[in-house]
Amino acid sequence: GQQVMQIPQYQHVQEGEDFTTYCNSSTTLSNIQWYKQRPGGHPVFLIQLVKSGEVKKQKRLTFQFGEAKKNSSLHITATQTTDVGTYFCAANAGGTSYGKLTFGQGTILTVHP
């Protein structure tokens, strides 16, 4: 089945530092979604990327979709303690399984004040 690899598994930063997590697939993706899960919480949808080379921004968060639609990244500028949590990428299976998501392993972000 479809797999998405996400790195790093953990990232510890000082408040104010930048953070990036990467998601890679061996196959071309129809789209990719990003979710954030706060400690003790449930995943919350952040954004979806569909087009090759697409870049979207949400305040300090920048999301990119690779030209080949096989990789994606989430970059946070000047992290804050409110950014703490696990960030997941999720690939849409497409075709007859459209709507079904395959989640990456997630990157656990810790921000030290």
Does residue 108 interact with other proteins by CB under 8 A? yes
In the complex, least distance from residue 16 CB atom to other proteins, rounded to whole angstroms: 26
Give residue for tokens 């305040």: 59
**Which member of 2, 48, 62, 73 binds other proteins (CB under 8 A)?**
48
Sign (positive or negative) of CA dihedral 100, 70, 1, 61: negative
Sign (positive or negative) of CA dihedral 20, 24, 28, 32: negative
Give residue for tokens 């089945």: 1
**Which member of 25, 54, 85, 106 binds other proteins (CB under 8 A)?**
106
> What residue ranges bind other proteins (CB under 8 A)?
1, 31, 33, 41-45, 48, 88, 90, 92, 98-106, 108
